[in-house]
Amino acid sequence: MIGADEHINFSTLYRYLRQEELTTINNDATDKRHFEALHPNEIWQSDVMHGPHVRHDCKFKKAYLIAIIDDHSRFIIHAEFYLAETRENFLDCLKQGILKRGLPQKLYIDNGSCFKALHLEHVTAQLGIGMSHSRPYIPQGRGKIERWFKYVRDHFIGPYQLNQKSNKLDLLNHHFNEWVEEYNNHRVHGTTKQTPYHRYQAGLECVRPAPAHLIDYFRTIEFKRVKKDRTIRLLGTLFEAPVGLIDRQVELRFHPEDLSQVEIFFQNKSYGMAVLVNPHINSQIARNWDPHPESLKTKAELIKTQVPLQTGQLFQSQSQEES
């Protein structure tokens, strides 16, 4: 810095200007603009930050902070530490955020593998959420959440590790949730001059509520071809599909932790829940030759209406089928 009473040689000044190319147009510059959403839930920004190590299964593992921030108010929609930077964990964070704060219009996210999954595209499309990815290796577009991550490092992770309150994930999240509540409700933001809570609450009329049965929108989707014997194998379990879907590729929507509710879709139409294969019951049920799946009864209905067969009746039924 040059003082007010100091003198500088003009040739030195011109040489510096030429060296820094300050007198010419920058033809290599990219168009980066400061932006801010007009209303709450118009844009949510999300990203992942490497967190502290925690004890898990007698080992120390790195925790990852997945966070969602409202672009308009800087309100933290949801933020939680996880043991991995995966699609499933990001979807869990998004689900928690929607349950608490309703639906965003647009999701602005990174290009990481957990943000570029086909499953995430299905979920956001069904919920009517637009999705946009920032350009690779250019984090400036997600500046609001990047600055908040720096604030977390300086004011939560640093003091937390120094005090060594806990090295377990659940307790880490417990203390972090309390810290986030304090941030949302009481810290006045330097740009908005309001607390995130009060700025978010001022525009609540723009917030779309979460739909009923939100969890069903987050089901895993897999595509399977129905075999000649009407079976579909999913995660090592054998299911049956309607007759009319034989040799067709169907869409299965399910929760991996609960395979009792696997819904079958074909051409965007639901054909009900898949039925677990029971070969013993199948041996006593007459075949349905109607190719139209809408007219089929489910196996549960067939079992309810079925009268136990005597041995003679069973052989008689089989001989009539063969004739």
* Residue 67, in any domain of the structure: yes
**169, 185, 206 — which closes off a domain?**
206
| pLDDT at site 25 | 66
| pLDDT at site 102 | 96
**146, 181, 206 — which closes off a domain?**
206
* Residues 48, 181 within the same domain: yes
Query: Mean pLDDT over residues 143-149, rounded?
Result: 91
Residue-range definition of the domain harbouring residue 252: 219-313
Residue bearing the bigger pLDDT, 316 or 184: 184
Give the number of domains in the chain: 2
Residue bearing the bigger pLDDT, 264 or 279: 264
Report pLDDT digits (tens) over 220-238: 999 999 999 999 999 999 9
Please tell me the pTM assigned to this model.
0.73
Structure tokens at 273: 């829940």
Look at residue 200 and tell me whether its pLDDT is greater than 60. yes
Closest CA relative to residue 251, chosen from 229, 277, 269, 236: 269
Q: Phi and psi for 110 in degrees, rounded to 5? A: -80, -175
* Residues 149, 235 within the same domain: no
* Residue 24, in any domain of the structure: no
* Residues 58, 187 within the same domain: yes
- In terms of C-beta distances under 8 Å and separation of at least 24 residues, what long-range contacts does 274-282 make, across chains too? 274/232, 274/234, 274/239, 274/240, 274/241, 275/239, 275/240, 275/299, 275/300, 276/237, 276/238, 276/239, 276/240, 277/231, 277/238, 277/239, 277/240
In this predicted structure, which of 77-86, 121-130, 215-224, 281-290 has the lowest mean pLDDT? 281-290
| pLDDT at site 209 | 93
* Residues 109, 78 within the same domain: yes
Contact 110/134 with Cβ under 8 angstroms?
yes
Q: Considering the chain, what percentage of its residues have pLDDT values greater than 90?
A: 55
Look at residue 316 and tell me whether its pLDDT is greater than 70. no
Mention every residue, 6+ apart, whose C-beta is less than 8 A from residue 98.
104, 127, 210, 214
| pLDDT at site 322 | 46
**171, 206, 241 — which closes off a domain?**
206
Which of 85-121 are b and which e, b meaning 16 or more Cβ less than 10 Å from the residue's Cβ? bbbebbbbbbbbbbeebbbbbbbbbbeeebbebeebe
For residue 6, how many C-alpha atoms fall within 13 Å in the half-sphere facing its CB? Answer: 6
Write down how long the chain is: 323
* Residues 150, 260 within the same domain: no
Residue 199 sits in a domain whose CATH number is 3.30.420.10
* Residues 201, 58 within the same domain: yes
